[in-house]
Structures are given as structure tokens and as C-alpha cells.
Amino acid sequence: MSKIIVVGGGPAGMMAAYAAASNGAEVVLLEKNEKLGKKLFITGKGRCNVTNYCDLEQLFRNILTNPKFLNSSIRQFTNQDVYDFFNDRGCALKVERGDRVFPESDHSSDVIRTMEKALKELQVKILLNTGVKEILVKDEKAYGVKLEDNTELEGDSVILAMGGKSYVSTGSDGYGFTLAHRLGHHVVTPQPGLVPLEVREGWVKDLQGLSLRNVELKLINHNGKVVYKELGEMLFTHFGVSGPLILSASSYLKEKEGPYILRINLKPGLSEDMLDARLLRDFEENNHKEFKNALGKLFPTKLIPVMVELSGIPGEQKVYDITRTQRLHFLKQIMELTMTVTGTRGFQEAIITRGGVDVKEINPSTMESRRVRDLYFAGEMLDCDALTGGFNLQIAWSTGNLAGTKAEQKSWESE
């Protein structure tokens, strides 16, 4: 019987351990935390967006970095397979808006419990509070790991599923990248992904806590090219902007294409003419009021002083005195509220890590390293990332499944 060592008890590691064990291997799963799936527990605001129920074409479109590399792993263990995996094991799932899949109970703990039960049934040996500090390699072949207490464990193959660098308190501290680098792997510089953005404009601080629904956001690079455009929800914070639209936009940032600007259309449902007609109507109704007191129907209260300031129209000016030029300038502000991105927040606030182990050095049909034999990678350690919606967990489940399956098959073939 082959012996497989899996490092990291997140979704990728647990699925790798499950796949290897269900194919007959003796599996040891090593997790440095006191429990499995610490990050999984906080996913989807504690509800765990397990996967996405869209068709595969759509699924691949939501993977922004190296979707082709993931072709085999995802086709061998699709979103439907993930859905069935949990449903068949008593963790009933439901599909919500945007095809997002959650446990019916709304508890991520049910997803973790299901994985733990499946691992125990297959007699996977789970060692908690067990950190790995070195991978043992001889003649370019991995044959085991060295633990933090210097104990050595040997096996036929080693699967690394140590996660990225975000939310360090969950256990993913980037040490996996250090180990991969030591083993000769190129690591594409890790960066915070799906992360709030910092902006230059001081007025943003005045809007702290304000969330805007149904706005259109554009992310524009230094050449004026719109690299992301979407309708949705965003939030102002003390440092800049956050919320679903902003997190998604952050995934399109490329160092070489900055500085970027964000442009918000506050009234995307209206054409320019329609918005002008709307302004004329509102101004008509408030003809004798001061400009600053005439905008109550147009914006949330918190936004009014900022919009007045940006319009260049004195707040005390009577509405009947507003000129056409002033009105059209104001209209432009509403359709093109602009901010300059100065950077992203750090890893501590990033949902995922972009970058990671270069996929050119990994066989996409097996997840095995092309540098070190019998060494496999899975999950967020890889230079693959996707938008929100359950796609990042799908990457973890699929790559974990493939690594576990192939590691077991290979040990068996070479017996």
C-alpha cells in the first residue's frame, strides 16, 4: 500500500487526502493548527460558498489567472461533482443568487464536519498541531517531511496544500512559498487579491460607512482602457473603498498598468439625457431652495455635501441661479465620480493570494512538480485565482482531488 503525506488541512489538503485514501492509499494529513479548515470556517461570512453552480464555460471565465492550467483538474472534479460530494454525504446544499452554492444550514462548520467524517471513514491519519518545516528530497525525489520538532516522516509522495498568505491567523502564512522556492520552484510574487483599495481623494473619508447599491464601477488603467466594468454594490471606508464590486475590480490590477482610476456612475439606469431631465425636474421642484438642500431625492444624505463640493456649485447658490453649464458639469460628476487608486490593502484583508507557485513547473494532468518527483501541489499555493462566487474553493477542491488521485496512482504504478 502506498503512503502519502499531505501538508495542510484546508479544503485542498482535505480533498487531496480524501482522494488518495479513497483510492486505497495510507494517508497522513498534517495540519499545524489545532483544527482542520480554519479558513474554510470563515468563508462566505461563515456560510461557506462551497462552489458555483454555473456551466463549466462560465466557471472558467471566472478564473482570472491560469484557467487553462486548471482544465484537467476541474473537468475531472467539476462543480457538479463538488455539489454531489457534499449532498451525498449528508451536507445538503442550496443554490443562491449568482449560482452561489451554500450549505442549506448556512453553516460552514457543516462543510468541515462532512470532510472530517469522510476522512475518518477512510482512516486518514490526521495529525493536528503538526507543522512541517522541511520537505525531504533525495535525487530530485520527495520522500518525506521534517516536522517542526525535527521528527521525520517518510512516504511515497508528498502533497503540499499549505495555502497562500492572506488571513495569517488561519494558518496560511506564506511558508509554503518558501518551501516551494527552496525546492527550486519559481514563485510568482504573491499579492493580496480580492482586496479593498486605497484611494487618494480625501473626501472619501467623509463617506466612511456609506454603501452604494446599483452603481456602475469602471476600473481604468493608465492608458485609459477600461479593464473592469460591472454593476453592483460598493462601500466607502476610512482608507478608500471596499465591497463586492471593488474586491472583484482588485483582481484586474496589474503593477505595470497603474496608476488606475475608479469611475463610478451613480445613476447607471439613466442615460445622459434622462439624467438631465431628472435634474431639471428636481431643480424645478426645488427652485427656491439652496443647491445643497435640493438634492435629497438624488443621493443618500451622507453623499450630498461631497457631491456639492465636487460640483463646484456653491452650496448656498439658489437653484434658480444654476446655469446650464453648471448643471451639465454636475451631471458629469454624477456619471463619472472619479477616484485614484493608490494601492491595495494588505494580505490581512485579502480574501485570496494572487501569484504563487509558477504553474509552468507543474504538470496540469497530475499536479506533480516538474522539478521534484513525487511532490504535488494543490489549492491556493498555485498561481491560480478567481473572482468571488465559490470559484476559489472550486480550485482547491479540484486541484486537491487531482493531486490525491494521481499521487496514489503513481505510487501504485511504480510498485
Ligand X SMILES: Cc1cc2nc3c(=O)[nH]c(=O)nc-3n(C[C@H](O)[C@H](O)[C@H](O)COP(=O)(O)OP(=O)(O)OC[C@H]3O[C@@H](n4cnc5c(N)ncnc54)[C@H](O)[C@@H]3O)c2cc1C
Q: Tell me which residues touch ligand X (CB under 6 A).
A: 7-13, 30-33, 38-40, 42-44, 48-49, 131-132, 161-163, 166-167, 170-172, 175-176, 351-352, 379-380, 390-393, 396
Smallest separation (angstroms) from ligand X to the CB of 396? 4
Smallest separation (angstroms) from ligand X to the CB of 166? 5
Map the chain to HEC letters.
CCEEEEECCCHHHHHHHHHHHHCCCEEEEECCCCCCCHHHHHHHHHCCCCEECCCHHHHHHCEEECCHHHHHHHHHCCHHHHHHHHHHCCCCEEEEHHHEEEECCCCHHHHHHHHHHHHHHCCCEEECCCCEEEEEEECCEEEEEEECCCCEEECCEEEECCCCCCCHHHCCCCHHHHHHHHCCCCEEEEEEECCCEEECCHHHHHHCCCEEEEEEEEEECCCCCEEEEEEEEEEECCCEEECHHHHHHHCCCCHHHCCCEEEEECCCCCCHHHHHHHHHHHHHHCCCCEHHHCCCCCCCCCHHHHHHHHHCCCCCCEHHHCCHHHHHHHHHHHHCEEEEEEEECCHHHCCEEEEEECHHHECCCCCEECCCECEEECHHHECCEECCCCHHHHHHHHHHHHHHHHHHHHHHHCC
All three cell numbers of 66, joined, read: 491560469
Closer of 47 and 410 to ligand X (Cβ): 47
Closer of 10 and 330 to ligand X (Cβ): 10
Smallest separation (angstroms) from ligand X to the CB of 153? 12
Closer of 96 and 272 to ligand X (Cβ): 96
Nearest in space to 357 (alpha carbons), one of 377, 335, 385: 377
Closer of 13 and 190 to ligand X (Cβ): 13
- Nearest 5°: the CA angle 89, 93, 97 is 160
Smallest separation (angstroms) from ligand X to the CB of 76? 17
Smallest separation (angstroms) from ligand X to the CB of 180? 12
Closer of 41 and 252 to ligand X (Cβ): 41
Task: Kindly compute the dihedral angle of the four CA atoms of residues 363, 128, 43, 178, in this order, to the nearest 10 degrees.
Answer: -50
Smallest separation (angstroms) from ligand X to the CB of 177? 10
Closer of 247 and 319 to ligand X (Cβ): 247
Smallest separation (angstroms) from ligand X to the CB of 376? 13
Smallest separation (angstroms) from ligand X to the CB of 17? 11
Closer of 38 and 185 to ligand X (Cβ): 38
What are the C-alpha distances in Å from 399 to residues 114, 319, 362? 19, 61, 12
Closer of 155 and 163 to ligand X (Cβ): 163
Closer of 33 and 401 to ligand X (Cβ): 33
Smallest separation (angstroms) from ligand X to the CB of 44? 3
Closer of 58 and 317 to ligand X (Cβ): 58
Other Cβ atoms closer than 10 A to 296 = 12
Smallest separation (angstroms) from ligand X to the CB of 51? 7
Smallest separation (angstroms) from ligand X to the CB of 201? 27
Q: Report the distance separating Cα 54 and Cα 400, nearest Å.
A: 21
Closer of 9 and 279 to ligand X (Cβ): 9
Q: Report the distance separating Cα 180 and Cα 71, nearest Å.
A: 23
